[in-house]
Structure 1
Amino acid sequence: MKNTYVNLPRKRPTSVLCIILFGAILVSSTFFIAGAIIGVNHKQLQQLRAIVVQKFPELQKPEVTPTNVCQNQCSPDGSEALPKGIVAKTSDLEMRPLWGPRKKRKNPKAPMSLLAMAVGKKQKANVNEMIKKFPSDDFVIMLFHYDGIVDDWKDLEWSSRAIHLSAISQTKWWFAKRFLHPDVVSEYAYIFLWDEDLGVQNFDAGRYVSIIRNEGLHISQPALDPEKSEVHHEMTTREKGSTVHRRIERMSRSKKNCYRNSTDPPCTGWVEMMAPVFSKEAWRCVWYMIQNDLIHAWGLDMQLGYCAQGNRTQYIGIVDSEYVVHYGLPTLGGSENKTNSESPKQPTQDTVSLESNHIDIRTEVRKQSFNELETFKRRWRKAVEEDDCWVDPYNHQ
């Protein structure tokens, strides 16, 4: 039997290129049809919206474009009309020459700090000794002249590079609130806000900054030497052999027992206000807490822990190895017959009134300070009660 073979027609292999081309045409057609449908629907919605707005004009709202959204999110208040790149959000206190290049620092990479002091002419000699302890390449000097006398400081070598501000009979906190805005001093690593009656024979500013940076302190002060200081508190007694202390393990001046595990002021998280030093991060917080009308800042010291950038038992401390002497002189508000008084050449109307009635000015200043303390406490309590979003990190104590 013979095998029969049938020759069937062979199919040609389909070209891969043709398949891809056909698929592309199909997808394009699908998108074209969908786009046409969406376009029609969008036009219909636009027409419907126009009819509704025409009948109810109050429903019309300005369209929010991506550009407007970006400006609202990225631009500081008041700068919306400017291109973002031209906005200068911060400043500093560095003086600029009228012509020519500015003087270069020895170490431009090292951040500078700021020393700000309220001063009077009668403390000129002591202030001069204090400022000599702060190297010009590392510190900007800012003087608040509460007696109105500025020209008499021109003979000092550093006077021409210092910033001088004058306002009669104002405290350093009054000046600080108005002239040390966080955006202005943001370039400075630390802000020293000191009184003028401090002895600095045993103080080195460079070593002090190095210590607080290494210790991670955001709020600090140098210790007071109990052997040389006329006025000191036990809490800031210099401890032999120590660099920094953060806790007080003794009876505090507020008659409160302090123990090793104490975590609230004045046993810890507290510094005295004649020589505080703030990191720029802490100062931004403290500046907001300074009340505009409470110029003596009493009560502020007990709340500094909220500005310590974290645990107040760790980031607030007193530097024992770099200490100063607090002379405790009756300066601002002192009477004319006392040494180192801060009375201006021309007495103010308030001073004349007090002296004519034989009133002790220092007593009146202290009375005002106590009044401000109670006012600050009252405002703090009220603010806590009214702020539903604020959570006190220390309310467990």
Structure 2
Amino acid sequence: MKTPNFVPMLSDPKNRSWLCSLLIVASLIWGAYFFGSTFIAKEYKDRFMRWEVLSDMQKRDISACKDRCRPSGSEPLPKGIVVKASNLELQPLWGSIKHNKNSRAEKSLLVLAVGIKQKEIVDKIVKKFPQSIFVVMLFHYDGVVDDWKNLEWSKHAVHVSAVNQTKWWFAKRFLHPDIVFEYEYIFLWDEDLGVENFDPVGYLSIVKDEGLEISQPALDPVKSDVHHPITSRQSRSRVHRRMYKFKGSGRCDSQSTAPPCVGWVEMMAPVFSKAAWRCAWHMVQNDLIHAWGLDQLLGYCAQGDRTRKVGVVDSEYIVHLGLPTLGVMDHNQNATNVASEGKTASKSDTKASAGSKVVDNRMEVRQRSFIEMQIFRKRWKDAVEEDQCWVDPHRTPANRTPH
């Protein structure tokens, strides 16, 4: 039997071409397999490494991470870079960065709504507050800022200007609790206050000692324009928290538990702890800029019993001059200063003055204030009815008559 002869097959050009094609295809398949395996291996290696990272993360205390207090919006950031509060400290444009962490915790904030006509009064107020422990912020409701520059303390103060806006309009927009978080107390005062018998350092000492979260200095009953009896100074007292009235309507006695008998301060010179202000700020309405009616409900922000934590300080007292500033606009610098003289001129009298450019809209301001009070009371009533989860901590027991 003969051995098969393969030589003729390889010598055939067609056979050789077919064999070469087969070898090329095999090479391509092998190459694709090799490189594909390498790529897939790398992909699986990367996935495995990612799985290892995820596994390491899962090994951490997930519950502890979830329990961390994170300000809304800061979740994508590492905790250490987040600064959740701010302050009103001025910083230099050049030189070393100002770090004042040790003293910030001891500072308080004096905020005044001011007009240039009360510049002399405001100057006396600010000079009473030591610069070392108080930051000063002025809300300029008349738009005049440059004319304050000649006062030495003015360059250290923060100035905010918006024409014909009230103290509460400014406060809602520029005193957010996270901005003033580093200040122990916020003095949110009007400009027409006499401070001859007032010492801010002594006042803070009393407030802290008495545990007052919301307070005000008492008013000198002889020299002041007193609107509410509870604000009048009691000469033999250090602090009083309630008033007594035994005749007429709205009686107040030792059993009274609600404003204006107890738990109440006037809105012209309130002083808030930072905790109380965080609460009160949320109650200030964006559109109700006179804040009438707010005083009746400040006790809800007293951080506890309003009959104990809201009070009037008698030993450090002020004078309320009662100057009619809101609504009086003088467009002539040489015109008579109606507001600073404290004169009450009707709108018709003002308009009748020949060549006068003083515009008196105080009646309209008062009317707007009254309307705002009615709106605020309705909003509070509606909010109480709609919030099924809210419990009134000051509700009067059924068997007692509210005072």
The TM-score, its normalising length taken from structure 1, stands at 0.75
Query: Once the 2 structures are TM-superposed, how far is the Cα of residue 241 of structure 1 from its aligned partner?
Result: 1.8
Q: Deviations over 1:158-183 (max 9, x none)?
A: 00000000000000100000000001
Change (3 A) 1:105 1:83: closer
Query: Once the 2 structures are TM-superposed, how far is the Cα of residue 72 of structure 1 from its aligned partner?
Result: 8.5
Query: Once the 2 structures are TM-superposed, how far is the Cα of residue 81 of structure 1 from its aligned partner?
Result: 1.6
Query: Once the 2 structures are TM-superposed, how far is the Cα of residue 195 of structure 1 from its aligned partner?
Result: 0.2
Counterpart position of 2:382: 382
Matches within 5 A, 1:29-44: none
Query: 236, 240, 250: which is aligned to 2:235?
Result: 240
Query: 80, 91, 116: which is aligned to 2:86?
Result: 91
User: What percent of counterpart residues are identical?
Assistant: 62
Query: Once the 2 structures are TM-superposed, how far is the Cα of residue 335 of structure 1 from its aligned partner?
Result: 5.0
Counterpart position of 2:52: none
Query: 129, 134, 139: which is aligned to 1:134?
Result: 129
Counterpart position of 1:177: 172
Change (3 A) 1:387 1:205: same
Extract unaligned runs of 5+ from structure 1: 1-64, 343-351
CA distance in 2, matches of 1:322, 1:223: 7
CA distance in 2, matches of 1:210, 1:278: 14
Counterpart position of 1:202: 197
Counterpart position of 1:269: 263
Aligned residues: 320
Query: 272, 284, 300: which is aligned to 2:278?
Result: 284
Change (3 A) 1:331 1:98: same
Counterpart position of 1:77: 72
Matched, 1:330 2:329: no
CA distance in 1, matches of 2:86, 2:171: 16
Query: Once the 2 structures are TM-superposed, how far is the Cα of residue 235 of structure 1 from its aligned partner?
Result: 1.7
CA distance in 2, matches of 1:361, 1:369: 12
Matches within 5 A, 1:91-110: 91-101=86-96, 108=103
CA distance in 2, matches of 1:105, 1:128: 26
SS of equivalent to 1:340: helix
SS of equivalent to 1:318: strand
Q: Deviations over 1:112-158 (max 9, x none)?
A: 00000110000001000000000000100000001111000000010
CA distance in 2, matches of 1:155, 1:269: 41
Q: CA RMSD in A?
A: 2.7
Letter in 2 for 1:270: W
Given that residues 91 and 98 in structure 2 are in contact (C-alpha distance below 8 angstroms), is that contact kept between their aligned partners in structure 1?
no
Counterpart position of 2:149: 154
Given that residues 118 and 172 in structure 1 are in contact (C-alpha distance below 8 angstroms), is that contact kept between their aligned partners in structure 2?
yes
CA distance in 2, matches of 1:104, 1:214: 30
Query: Once the 2 structures are TM-superposed, how far is the Cα of residue 255 of structure 1 from its aligned partner?
Result: 3.9
Q: Deviations over 1:173-208 (max 9, x none)?
A: 000000000011010000000000000000000000
Change (3 A) 1:359 1:158: closer
Query: 149, 157, 166: which is aligned to 2:161?
Result: 166
The TM-score, its normalising length taken from structure 2, stands at 0.74
Query: Once the 2 structures are TM-superposed, how far is the Cα of residue 249 of structure 1 from its aligned partner?
Result: 1.1
SS of equivalent to 2:152: coil
SS of equivalent to 2:111: strand
